[in-house]
Amino acid sequence: MRARFLVPLFIFLVLVGFLWKGLSRDPREVPSPLVGKPAPTFHLPRLDAPEKIFSPSDMRGQVWLLNVWASWCVSCREEHPVLVELAKRRDVPLIGLNYKDQRPAALAWLERFGNPYHLSVSDADGRVGIDYGVYGVPETYVIDRAGIIRMKHIGPVTPEVLDTKILPLVAELSK
Amino acid sequence: MKRVLLSLWLALLLTPLNAKEAVPVAQDPALEARLNRLAKELRCLVCQNESLADSQADLAADLRREIREMMRQGKSDAEITRYLTDRYGDFVLYRPPLKSTTWLLWFGPFLLAGLAIAGFLYFLARRRKSLPDAPLSPEEQARVEALLGQRPEEPRS
């Protein structure tokens, strides 16, 4: 008989649980169906030397990061120092996908804020971006030796994300 | 006269600026109608409460361009939808597909309504059982009939 009074409490706790889960989710974070699949291939001109073509297959055999950036992107500005720091540590090669940008503007940006990239490629019309499911620049992909996407991070890479998620995964994959 | 010519010329100069999205419609109205129908079912990833048809976001325009191109190549709606879900996941669909992870989404409301109805019926049944079938006293009977505007009848034997 006593247990009957616990029913509203139980319902309340279930509701709190649902709301807690719902409110702590980031609605911008859309799970990518590409994780666990081969990174889409492309052949794009290098930003620094457009006559040279880069393709993800050039990175076969090593773990690498693909970072989608643009000089018009505000959050990229916030992310940039973190990437510059990462580049200094030389833990993992970083390739930039310069998304829907003007080449002079992109080059000026790298000149001004430093260039953390091993190299960048120009995705001027955004087609490769669509292939990678890009929808909120910046985005960062961790790609393993076999060319499989292992992780996607949407939004700026923070030191915390780098230390708790990206670098441990890179270390794990590099074993 | 000069002023009229100048304003006409200005008007001519300005019109293409407003015609950014309108040009393809003139090219192939049937295709645009099909694109619009399909894009209404798809979510814009950038402004997530808008459909791909309504969104002004850059990415939405790019995706419309891709869809347009695939339609010209003769791809079916299912193939185009597949192309998008391969890249952006089921999230791009306003009508999520029925699978093991979404059955609660689809059937949850019916389940809840069913539980509520069952609970209500149970409550009614218990209430009926707990209320004694007390017959009215003669005074109460008289009052009821007075209120109903009827003359008390002679009790039938």
Assembly ipTM:
0.78
Tens-place pLDDT, residues A86-100: 999 888 999 999 999
From chain A, which residues contact B within 8 Å (Cβ)? 27, 30-34, 100, 125-127, 130-136
Q: Nearest chain A residue to B83 by CA: give it.
A: A131
Chain A residues touching B62 at Cβ < 8 A: 125-126, 130
pLDDT band per the 50, 70, 90 thresholds, residue B141: confident
Per-residue model confidence (pLDDT) at position B91: 85
Q: Average pLDDT of each block of 10 consecutive residues along chain A (175 residues)?
A: 82 92 77 88 94 94 95 93 92 93 95 94 93 91 94 92 93 90
Rounded CA-CA distance A26/A30 in Å is 9
Say if the Cβ atoms of B89 and A33 lie within 8 Å: yes
Question: In angstroms, what separates the C-alpha of A8 from chain B's closest C-alpha?
Answer: 14
Say if the Cβ atoms of B89 and A130 lie within 8 Å: no
Chain A residues touching B86 at Cβ < 8 A: 33
Instruction: State the angle between helix axes of B58-72 and B77-88 in degrees (0 to 180), rounded to the nearest 10.
Output: 140
Rounded CA-CA distance B49/B72 in Å is 28
Rounded CA-CA distance A92/A95 in Å is 10
Tens-place pLDDT, residues A26-41: 766 777 888 999 999 9
On whether the pTM is more than 0.90, the answer is no
